[in-house]
Amino acid sequence: MSNPTADAQAIDALIELRAALSVHGITLPSLDLHLPSYAGTYDTPPLIALGNCNAGTASRLAAVLRAGRP
């Protein structure tokens, strides 16, 4: 079964990532927990699936990441 502590860590990271993207007007509709790793028997947090997005969203995400570069 899954590890509740690791699961909570992944869910918190997922919520944080959604919020950070939202500040920049970016929504990744498929952003979610990676179900096979969530259902697995690992001691590490489940993976977060970034999912798919259209070209416009990908360009916006790239621009935000470039702007944040030190």
- pLDDT at position 70, please? 63
- pLDDT at position 63, please? 94
Who's near 61: CB < 8 A, 6+ residues apart?
21, 26, 53
C-alpha of 32 from chain center: 6
> pTM for the complete prediction?
0.83
Residue 40: pLDDT band by 50, 70, 90 thresholds? confident
Who's near 53: CB < 8 A, 6+ residues apart?
28, 29, 30, 61
Ramachandran assignment for 34, one of left (phi > 0), alpha (psi -120 to 50 degrees), beta (any other): beta
Mean pLDDT score of the chain, rounded to an integer? 89
- pLDDT at position 2, please? 66
Backbone angles phi, psi at 58, to 5 degrees: -60, -40
